[in-house]
Amino acid sequence: MTPPAAPAAEGPEPGTADRIRSSIEAMTAAVRAAAVEGGPWTGDLGEVTHRLRELARVDLCLGRLVEGHADAVRILDQADEKPASGVYGVWASRSVGTGVRAVRGAGRWRLQGQVRFASGIDLIDRALVPGWVDEDTHLLFDVPLGEVQPDRRTWRTSAMDASRSFTVKVDTVADDPIGPENFYLARPGFVVGGLQVAAVWAGGVAGVVELVATGLRDFRPGAHQLRRLGAMEQASWTAETAVAHAVRRIAETSTVPVADITAARSAVVAAGEQVIDEAGRIVGPGGLSSHARLARTLADLGIYLRQHHVDLIYEALGREALQHRQVLG
């Protein structure tokens, strides 16, 4: 099957990518325009994932930050809550034993702790943060960013640097939580939200293909370069199709199709890893060292894909195959 032509980009034009990444002020303006003015985000999931993919084609950090806002707005909608004004994020990591404790006292909640990979520092206004009452029980709180203290030394790579993802210290008080106990993780929308992240990855994959193809037009590409570009185009089609398939499965079923969503995310990761490898082989050291935007996009995509624990997922699939696949012959 011949992959379809890429649709016209929506949102910022690709030529604005360098301007968006030129300063914190420029990224703030781009995120605010895409997240707030580009809403609402509570409608059809297919439309939401398409819009996120198109933003990520322009810039992965832009797509990642807008996805955080979209996720937060959908979470609030699922809890029948209205978002405050401004741009949101979702800070829920408990990596390496971190996390926020929630203690009830004097009619309010005291939130204290650390959160790693808190994206959007200096760029967004609020974050939804789970506060853990004990090891098995959490509540979700809407926290203004003026109540957190970021450690800007905790992100030491240029990859995804414009997402402003740092470890933050939370020490504040909050009123009523959002939703019931364990709402954040127990709601069906938690798994579905992972598909929005996959859409951003898929946009990054498409962006790499477009950058490499654009660069090749200035030369007379060899057969091996064309073959590898074709493999990249196929990988991008696979990533986009996997997300679209999972969106359709969500619409068709009464329960969340966890297996389809997980498979779609893994397919996008595999496509991304292939595109990163093929791009380096096509452009060689000359292209990797002289094309700043391509090098930046490859670095962004590489670190962002590591969010998905694909080895654990493949191990589980391997065990299932051993148990259920029949021997032919």
Cα first-last separation, the chain: 31
Chain centroid offset of residue 249 CA: 20
pLDDT number for residue 12: 53
pLDDT at 289: 94
- Three state DSSP letters for the chain: CCCCCCCCCCCCCHHHHHHHCCCHHHHHHHHHHHHHHCCCCCCCHHHHHHHHHHHHHHCHHHHHHHHHHHHHHHHHHHCCCCCCCCCEEECCCCHHHCEEEEEEECCEEEEEEEEEEECCCCCCCEEEEEEEEECCEEEEEEEEHHHEEEECCCCCCCCCHHHCCEEEEEEEEECCCECCCCHHHHCCHHHHHHHHHHHHHHHHHHHHHHHHHHHHCCCCCCHHHHHHHHHHHHHHHHHHHHHHHHHHHHHHCCCCCHHHHHHHHHHHHHHHHHHHHHHHHHHHHHHHHHCHHHHHHHHHHHHHHCCCCHHHHHHHHHHHHHHHCCCCC
CA distance 55 to 53: 5
Q: What is the pLDDT of residue 8?
A: 36
- Could you tell me the domains of the chain? 186-324 (1.20.140.10)
Decide if 65 contacts 21 (C-beta within 8 A): no
How far apart, in whole angstroms, are the C-alpha atoms of residue 82 and residue 75? Answer: 10
Q: What is the pLDDT of residue 38?
A: 83
* Residue 193: half-sphere exposure toward Cβ, Cα within 13 Å: 25
pLDDT score, position 97: 87
- pLDDT averaged per 10 residues in sequence order, the chain, 329 residues: 38 72 96 91 96 96 98 97 96 93 93 97 97 97 94 97 97 95 96 97 98 93 96 98 98 94 97 98 94 96 96 93 80
Token pair of 275 as six digits:
């595109």
Amino acid type, 94: R
Which pLDDT belongs to residue 2? 39
